[in-house]
Amino acid sequence: MSLGQVLLVAALAVPAVGAAVVALLPGDRAARVVGTVAAGLTLLATLPLATGDRSWTAYGVNPAVRPWHRLDLPWVPALDLRFHLGVDGISYPLVVLTALLTLLCCAYTLWKVPDGGGSGRALVALLLVVEVGILGTFLALDLVLFFVFFEVVLLPMYAIIAGWGGADRRRAAAKFALYTLLGSVLLLVGVYVVVAAAGTADLLALTGGTGLSRGTQLAAFTLLGLAFAVKSPLWPLHSWLPDAHTQAPTVGSVILAGVLLKMGTYGLIRVAVGVAPEGARWAAPVLGVLAVAAIIVGSLVCLAQGELKRLIAYSSVGHMGFVLLGVATLTATGLQAALIGNVAHGVITGLLFFLAGAIKDRAHTGALAELSGLRETAPRLAGLLGFAAVASLGLPGLAGFWGEAFAVVAAIGRGGPLWTTLGVLAAVGGALTAAYLLRLLRRVTHGPASPAVGRIGPGLAAAEWTAWAPLVLLALAVGLAPTLVLGVAADPVAALVGVLK
């Protein structure tokens, strides 16, 4: 095995073994430490994956998918299924983001374990299992293997919401499971349609629609697109998201917003668009209209929202609308906007949920009407909330700017009345985004301190600084140097666009 292949295996094996060890250890605190170490080792295993061969001649595979590292082993020989993993510039930023956010969440549990479902040990074990599923989804190059990893996430995330969430956690968890199962059924049927028609589950061979008739591609994209739309989530299939975010514990909300939603958008780009390009071209106008509807509806709901975590949850609907609009354009600019928008949303909204959890833990309420004057009693916390909010609204120089701006540019660049209108409406949605986030800051940080906020002290725990500082630095780094994401994705995006023409 080459070093790259060892790292691919380690990225999945370390958190899987870590979860098993954490579940078996008798001491709760020791188990959380071990889980955090396992998450840290996983991050260390993912970082060197960027050192792979980028000459794109090493494997002689489909020009639209050329992994830097690849591992291809027999899995179910009788069915010609393989344990096929790989990483390239499209998946690599999401792999690192997943490993980083999981590490920060595990480290956060060393300081605070949410009330509810039991020990911190169980929570950390579940976080590591979720990490295995998400990383496997981003690394899988076999369509059946992709489906298996995609499904691994469901039960542990359900347990996290139902076990450690808020007062209405069981209903929110059930709604999450119901919607996810609906998406899973559609994904399973879509995978079957593709594999049965093409005779292979190899994504390297399938990308570009190889072996699939136009009718099969239309059917496959419809099924796969709907499945990924549920996970993304795309309006009007989004209603599970606000409930799940609002009721989930802080670490659950961070993982949900930071990387779980990206399974949907990544699957849309890698699988639905890649495998069924004719279907993607056919459905692009509908996807664009629904994406802009998500931007506008999400923003309007946020303007009327009175609960902190619920507002941030609905903001994700709008932000992911920009990502999906970029995908819908099927252009290099649009796909790049979607990829950097994915990363920026994961970093910024992960930070926002960390901050919202800290405020609710201290004030014992999330009602905006009861949270005024935060800068008077906790100026550091108010300052960080202000930074995260202006990053989320797309201030130039911070990570949120690039994805939203270039999704609009890509839509207008497509030309024609429909795409120009969608681009203009998306820009209006960007203005509404600024409006509701500035409203959030005015309600929470300004004015005299409310009784709930008056109880909050000025200090922040060392564990909180440890969890939040990397996200603050990444929001700045990606905003000032977008090539950190766009540079590694440029070649694979160009190759993918080439098969769409």
Q: Write the CA distances from 104 to 36, 248, 250, 344, 362, integer angstroms.
A: 8, 17, 11, 16, 20
Q: What is the mean pLDDT of residues 22-48?
A: 89
Q: State how far the Cα of 169 lies from the Cα of 257, in Å rounded to an integer.
A: 17
Q: What does pLDDT average to over the chain? A: 86
Q: Is the pLDDT of residue 475 over 80?
A: yes
pTM of the model: 0.90
Query: pLDDT tens for residues 180-228?
Result: 888 889 999 999 998 888 888 888 888 877 778 888 899 999 999 998 9
Buried b (16+ CB within 10 A) or exposed e, 273-303: bbbbbbbbbebbeebbbbbbbbbbbbbbbbe
Burial of residue 173, with CB atoms counted within 10 A of its CB: 0-12 exposed, 13-18 middle, 19 or more buried: buried
**Helix (H/G/I), strand (E/B), else coil: 301:** helix
Residue 15: what residue type?
P
What percent of the chain clears pLDDT 70, i.e. is strictly above it? Answer: 96
CA 71 to chain CA centroid, nearest Å: 24
Query: pLDDT tens for residues 427-450?
Result: 999 899 999 999 988 888 887 878
Query: pLDDT tens for residues 237-287?
Result: 777 878 887 888 888 888 988 888 888 899 999 888 888 888 989 999 999
Structural domain total, the chain: 1
Q: Which residues contact 396 (CB under 8 A, 6 or more apart)?
A: 479
> Domain span at residue 349?
3-500
Instruction: Of 141-155, 160-174, 289-303, give the lowest mean pLDDT range.
Output: 160-174
Q: Is the pLDDT of residue 103 over 90?
A: yes
Q: State how far the Cα of 225 lies from the Cα of 284, in Å rounded to an integer.
A: 11
For the chain, count helices (H), then strands (E): 23, 2
Burial of residue 167, with CB atoms counted within 10 A of its CB: 0-12 exposed, 13-18 middle, 19 or more buried: exposed
